[in-house]
Amino acid sequence: MSEKNSTDINAIQFVADFVAIKQWKPTLILMYAALAMIAWKYFTIPEEQMRGQSNVMAFILGAHKIFGGFFLFGVIPMLTVKLVFREKLADYGLRFGNGRRVLVNSLIFVPTMFVIGMLTGRDPAFWEVYPYNPVVTDSPTTFFCHALTYLAYYFGWEFFFRGFMQHGLRDAMGIYNAVLVQTMASAILHFGHPISETLGSIVGGLLWGFLVLRCRSLWAGFIQHSVLGIVLDWFILKNSVVSP
């Protein structure tokens, strides 16, 4: 009779350990992250349902993925921090932090993000993915409204990955592993996008994860990511319209 492996565990013990008090916070974060990412990735409203609607209603329906990101990645995690964890949002990056470092890093990286957005906006591969709102145009008024919705979207995105996940998991797995986990998670949501963007999302996850620690706030990453996304959409609209 073979000796039982010391790592063997039965189902009851597994469930007991899984819901152990010391594990419930990281468990909740990771389980919610999986469900929220799946919901955001797969929930969509077909463009056919936007036809025949007023311009305002078509724009709102077209922005469902943007609003969904803000709600799933921003609102629910913030409420979880306040009402379930009973912790301060400031501990998750929602504070001014070191304003000088935010400013300096923004001055360094915002021009870089602008150039990346401008160059990738010329690539037809990105036209198949963006803008997330299919009814947005390069009309100044329409695009301004689109940019405002993007600010809400990127706020939710940065809070979810660099705040809720990174700060929420650091005590359980250490800060370096927490940075890697949120980077991996954000990269997963880029699957199906151009390979250059998917690989770039790893660089962005590491960079903005570091800047949250360096600046003690989410704002540097939020500003840079927002500039990248908004500039990318603008140049996609401009280039896709004039290209044959």
Give 47's contacts (C-beta < 8 A, 6+ positions apart).
62, 134, 135
Per-residue pLDDT of 129-171, as tens digits, reads 999 999 999 899 999 999 999 999 999 999 999 999 999 999 9
Predicted pLDDT at 241: 61
Per-residue pLDDT of 176-195, as tens digits, reads 999 999 999 999 999 999 99
**Is the pLDDT at 244 greater than 70, yes or no?**
no
**Is the pLDDT at 3 greater than 70, yes or no?**
no
**Is the pLDDT at 4 greater than 60, yes or no?**
no
Q: Both tokens of residue 104? A: 């300096």
Mean pLDDT rounded to a whole number for the chain? 92
**Is the pLDDT at 5 greater than 70, yes or no?**
no
**Is the pLDDT at 16 greater than 90, yes or no?**
no
Quick check: 69 and 63 in contact, CB under 8 A?
no
Q: Both tokens of residue 11? A: 């189902």
C-alpha 87/C-alpha 65 separation (Å) is 28
C-alpha 191/C-alpha 205 separation (Å) is 14
Predicted pLDDT at 52: 84
Residue type, 188: I
- What's the rounded mean pLDDT across residues 192-206? 97
C-alpha 75/C-alpha 153 separation (Å) is 11
Percent of the chain whose predicted confidence (pLDDT) is above 70: 93
C-alpha 175/C-alpha 28 separation (Å) is 18
pTM for the full predicted model: 0.90
C-alpha 61/C-alpha 106 separation (Å) is 33
Predicted pLDDT at 1: 41
Quick check: 165 and 29 in contact, CB under 8 A?
yes
Give 198's contacts (C-beta < 8 A, 6+ positions apart).
187, 190, 191
